[in-house]
């Protein structure tokens, strides 16, 4: 039981609303890329293409992170659902152990009387 509590304390609960809170819209600047490509004498068309490629790659990465966040929420939800039966099982086990001890102690006292 202590081990379960220790692990539980290592991973504090985060509300689903906090986990699923919208990600702030992060603006990605391509200004440094643009300036560097201009220094190299790259054409405006190639610069725009490069900026678009960078923005597309960033959007794909952002989508992957969102999917990972959704998987994390699902995993945490599953763990919470498993935690309840585990705790009930531990309590039942503790109660049965205590009851068995009480029966054996009572039987021993009855035998010595």
Express each pLDDT in 9-37 by its tens digit. Answer: 666 666 666 655 665 666 778 899 999 99
Read off the DSSP letter of residue 22.
Answer: P
What's the mean pLDDT in 43-53? 95
Read off the DSSP letter of residue 24.
Answer: P
Let me know: does 3 contact 56? Beta carbons within 8 Å. Answer: no
Please report which confidence band the pLDDT of residue 7 belongs to, taking 50, 70 and 90 as the band edges: low
Lowest-pLDDT choice from 36-45, 50-59, 66-75, 80-89 = 80-89
More confident residue, 79 or 35: 35
- Work out whether the CA dihedral 20, 21, 27, 33 comes out positive or negative: negative
Let me know: does 19 contact 72? Beta carbons within 8 Å. Answer: yes
Contacts 24+ apart (CB under 8 A), 65-69: 65/23, 66/23, 69/19, 69/20
């Amino acid at each position: 039981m202590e081990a379960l509590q220790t692990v539980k304390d290592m991973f504090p609960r985060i509300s689903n609303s906090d986990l699923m809170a919208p990600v702030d819209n992060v603006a990605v600047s391509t200004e440094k890329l643009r300036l560097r490509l201009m220094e190299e004498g790259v054409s405006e068309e190639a610069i725009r293409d490069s900026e678009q490629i960078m923005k597309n790659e960033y959007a794909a990465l952002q989508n992957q992170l969102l999917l990972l966040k959704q998987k994390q929420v699902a995993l945490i939800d599953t763990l919470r659902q498993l935690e309840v039966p585990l705790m009930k099982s531990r309590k039942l086990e503790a109660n049965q152990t205590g009851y068995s001890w009480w029966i054996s102690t009572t039987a021993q006292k009855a035998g010595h009387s």
